[in-house]
Structure 1
Amino acid sequence: MISQAVAPFEIRRPMQQTEPFVFNSPHSGRVYPDAFLDISRLDRNAIRRSEDYYVDELFASAVQLGAPMLAAQFPRAWLDVNREPYELDPRMFDGPLPSFANVGSMRVAGGLGTIPRLVAENMDIYRGRLSVAEGLSRIDHVYRPYHANLRKMIAQTHVQFGKAILIDCHSMPANVRLAGGSARPDIIIGDRYGASAAHDLSFAAVSVLSELGYYVVRNKPYAGGFITEHYGRPGRGLHALQIEINRGLYVDEVTLEKTAGFELLKADLWEFSARMMAHVRDDLVGQRLAAE
């Protein structure tokens, strides 16, 4: 397990949930147990290269505004909950994997399965092979409870408000460019090309962030991962948007320290969250009036 002293994830709740939103930060965990570091070939700095630095802090205002947040404490390099539960690379383990494991996905091939083989920049994480029991234990004791809680938070929100909007919060390297050019987006909104959220929600997210001065694009190169795809069912009133933030806006990617841009970005994301909530609130009022 990750640690006896630290819970693997936190549910941060407002005094009262007043908005049909759930925020999720699955990759910002920064508790690296000594036992994990002991079996890694990477030092404490290098192993953080896949981390979504401080993203849970950037979106902390969501809780103050009336929406709950689920935030990982465990690091993405140890377990990636933005994958299917059993996307596992057989080359990483000392014995045969269960027959139901998905060993042939593109993410597994790239070293970025449920239990990653690599961190960013293609650096191997482990000195040797993991036991199959260790890998399955991480899934049983952390992955499954994480998703059980996320599923419950979304379901409770849907029951209370008649709809639920999941904002899946991530960051991306500062050097990410759009295909065929040199443009570097500040923020990417992913909705699985319209499959995980209603168009008006995606359009509102892009519009609000653009009005705040950011260069925003949709779906390319990040359209959303397993979480966005799995929980977004717009036809049932369940919407999921992934938001990727350029790390160059707020962190030094060498020292991993926050820069002067952190507080400005945090304030802008407060404004983004508040305006998205107002947009959905107005829409719900309009629906009620139309039904009367």
Structure 2
Amino acid sequence: MTQNVSETEQFEVREPEMQRIPFVFNSPHSGRIYAQSFLDQSRLDDLSIRRSEDHFVDELFHSVTDLGAPLLLAHFPRAFLDVNREPYELDPRMFDGPLPPHANISSLRVAGGLGTVPRLVAENMEIYRGRVPVAEALERIETIYKPYHACLRRLIARTHVQFGLAVLIDCHSMPGNVRLAGSGQRPDFIIGDRYGTSASADLSRAAVSLLEDLGFSVARNKPYAGGFITEHYGRPARGLHALQIEINRGLYVDETTLRKKPDFTTLSQAIAVFLGGLAAHVEKYVTNSSLAAE
């Protein structure tokens, strides 16, 4: 788990030989390379600090390059830096020194300890032994967060130019104990489109239907409607669609040991079938105004 990572290795893009479909896939929370300097700052053991990871999501979506789409994935862990936040959602209680005036210190995510530089991992466990120098937090934003989003913007823009539309799939996982309010249902997948604002309703419905046809239980927008990335990059009126996909970790990983379950490969294959169906659905509407820019 511990490894020294240079700036150029903080994230990577896995490219197909040729992009054949108008999709970009993003896995911002599956990074699992923890710098020793970060671990030295933490009060958590090597297993506890991983509780915020979207475990192995990059591997679950490995087939996207075979479909003809790029996959952007983080190597840095979410506990170190969360790129699914505004660039400066920062908790002043965490830092040694004043934050810049443009920092958002009052968002709900900051209040919950889950800002751009998180204070907590899942289950409300404090990450740090003491305060973090402000300069260090700002350096993470400048050297990792901003280059990551610049890369994502380029991939989306390139796709949009090539096909006339772009579909961003933001890939995540959720705890196995998530239940839907009022029903107690444990969804296998949640499709988030920011309540219809980040993607066309047709695309969201197709994603739900395809997964249900594969035998999965699927919810839409509850309890996860999509984070900063989905909200920021989804502009359906311009032919830019963004969906967040949450996968129940109980399907594929032991959440105590963080080891893959025997069904991991079967789930990955089912995801490949689902994505192939979604790509075929979008292909029929490349020139349709409901998906392409108006």
TM-score range, shorter chain: over 0.9
What displacement does 1:6 show?
6.9
Does residue 52 (structure 1) correspond to residue 54 (structure 2)? The answer is yes
Tell me, in whole angstroms, the C-alpha distance in 2 between the residues paired with 1:87 and 1:286: 38
The answer to whether the Cα contact below 8 Å between 2:89 and 2:105 also exists between their aligned partners in 1 is yes
Match of 1:201 among 194, 200, 203: 203
What displacement does 1:48 show?
0.3
**Counterpart residue number, 1:92:** 94
Tell me, in whole angstroms, the C-alpha distance in 2 between the residues paired with 1:97 and 1:156: 35
Equivalent runs, 1:31-180 vs 2, <5 Å: 31-180=33-182
What displacement does 1:242 show?
0.1
Kindly provide the amino acid, as one letter, of the partner of residue 212 in structure 2: S
Query: Structure 1 regions of 5+ residues with no counterpart?
Result: 288-292
Kindly provide the amino acid, as one letter, of the partner of residue 248 in structure 1: G
Kindly provide the amino acid, as one letter, of the partner of residue 267 in structure 1: Q
**TM-score, length-scaled by structure 2:** 0.96
SS in 2 for 1:56: helix
**TM-score, length-scaled by structure 1:** 0.96
**Counterpart residue number, 2:16:** 14
Kindly provide the amino acid, as one letter, of the partner of residue 276 in structure 1: L
**Counterpart residue number, 1:182:** 184
What displacement does 1:285 show?
6.0
What displacement does 1:5 show?
8.1
Tell me, in whole angstroms, the C-alpha distance in 2 between the residues paired with 1:172 and 1:33: 24
The answer to whether the Cα contact below 8 Å between 2:168 and 2:243 also exists between their aligned partners in 1 is yes
Tell me, in whole angstroms, the C-alpha distance in 1 between the residues paired with 2:218 and 2:119: 31
What displacement does 1:93 show?
0.4
Match of 1:249 among 248, 251, 261: 251
Query: Structure 2 regions of 5+ residues with no counterpart?
Result: 290-294
Tell me, in whole angstroms, the C-alpha distance in 2 between the residues paired with 1:234 and 1:286: 12
How many residue pairs are counted as aligned between the two chains? Answer: 287
Tell me, in whole angstroms, the C-alpha distance in 1 between the residues paired with 2:152 and 2:286: 23
Does residue 279 (structure 1) correspond to residue 281 (structure 2)? The answer is yes
Of stretches 177-186 and 106-115 in structure 1, the one that deviates more from structure 2 is 177-186
SS in 1 for 2:242: strand
Structure 1 moving runs of 4+ over 3 Å: none
**Counterpart residue number, 1:236:** 238
What displacement does 1:284 show?
2.0
SS in 1 for 2:260: coil
**Counterpart residue number, 2:292:** none
Tell me, in whole angstroms, the C-alpha distance in 1 between the residues paired with 2:6 and 2:223: 38
SS in 2 for 1:283: coil
Tell me, in whole angstroms, the C-alpha distance in 1 between the residues paired with 2:188 and 2:89: 30
The answer to whether the Cα contact below 8 Å between 2:16 and 2:65 also exists between their aligned partners in 1 is yes
What displacement does 1:274 show?
0.6
SS in 2 for 1:188: strand
Kindly provide the amino acid, as one letter, of the partner of residue 203 in structure 2: L
Deviations 1:7-49 (A, max 9, x none): 0001000000000000000000000111100010001100000
Kindly provide the amino acid, as one letter, of the partner of residue 73 in structure 1: H
Tell me, in whole angstroms, the C-alpha distance in 2 between the residues paired with 1:90 and 1:284: 46
